C-alpha cells in the first residue's frame, strides 16, 4: 500500500488535469466513451480531495474533447453533422453547435465522475492498507510483550 501512496502522489490539480487530458485523448481514439471514466479516475488518483478529483476529471476530459472537436471542425464537416443531428430532435440545424457543447459537457461529466470514483477507490484501498498496517503493528507489539 505504500507503493500505492508513493506512486500516486498529490501532484495538484493542474498536473492532474494534464494527465487526464493526455489520457482522455489517447483513450478516446479507441472510440469507447466509457473509457472517459477511466481517464478521469486516473486523474483522481493524483489528488487528495474529491472536489479536486472531480475538477481534474471534468476539466481534463472537457479540454480533451474540445481539442478533438477543434481538430475535427478544422478537417471535417462536423458543424454540418451536428446541425443534422440536432435537426433530428426537431430543432433548427443552425443550433448544431449546441450539440458539440452538450457532447463536451457529457464527456466532462464522465471525466468528473470518473475522477471522484478514482479518488474514492484510492481512499478505500488506502484505508484497507492503513488498517492492515495498524493490525500488523498491533500484532508485532503484542509479540514483543513479555
* Interface region with other proteins, contact rule CB under 8 A, candidates 9-17, 104-112, 138-146: 104-112
Rounded (10°) angle between helices 13-28 and 50-75:
40
Quote the distance between the C-alpha of residue 69 and its chain's center.
18
In angstroms, give the least distance from the CB of 139 to other proteins. 18
> Per-residue contact track with other proteins, 2 to 31, x per CB under 8 A?
--------------------------xxxx
DSSP 8-class letter at 9 = -
Residues in the chain: 146
* Interface region with other proteins, contact rule CB under 8 A, candidates 4-12, 13-21, 124-132, 136-144: 124-132
140 binds other proteins (CB under 8 A): no
Cα 56 from Cα 52, distance rounded (Å): 6
CA angle centred on 77, ends 66 and 92, rounded to 5°:
90
Positions touching other proteins (CB under 8 A) are 28-34, 37, 50, 65, 68-69, 72, 75-78, 80-82, 84-85, 87-88, 99, 102-103, 106-107, 109-110, 112-114, 116-117, 119-121, 123-124, 127-128, 131
Amino acid at each position: 500500500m505504500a507503493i500505492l501512496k508513493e506512486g500516486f502522489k498529490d501532484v495538484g490539480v493542474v498536473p492532474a488535469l494534464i494527465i487526464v487530458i493526455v489520457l482522455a485523448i489517447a483513450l478516446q481514439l479507441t472510440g469507447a466513451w466509457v473509457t472517459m471514466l477511466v481517464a478521469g479516475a486516473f486523474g483522481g488518483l493524483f489528488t487528495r480531495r474529491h472536489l479536486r478529483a472531480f475538477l481534474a476529471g471534468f476539466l481534463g476530459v472537457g479540454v480533451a474533447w474540445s481539442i478533438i472537436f477543434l481538430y475535427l471542425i478544422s478537417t471535417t464537416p462536423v458543424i454540418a453533422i451536428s446541425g443534422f443531428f440536432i435537426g433530428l430532435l426537431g430543432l433548427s440545424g443552425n443550433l448544431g453547435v449546441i450539440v458539440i457543447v452538450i457532447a463536451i459537457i457529457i464527456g466532462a461529466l464522465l471525466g468528473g465522475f470518473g475522477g471522484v470514483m478514482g479518488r474514492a477507490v484510492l481512499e478505500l484501498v488506502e484505508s484497507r492498507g492503513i488498517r492492515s498496517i495498524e493490525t500488523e503493528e498491533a500484532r508485532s507489539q503484542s509479540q514483543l510483550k513479555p
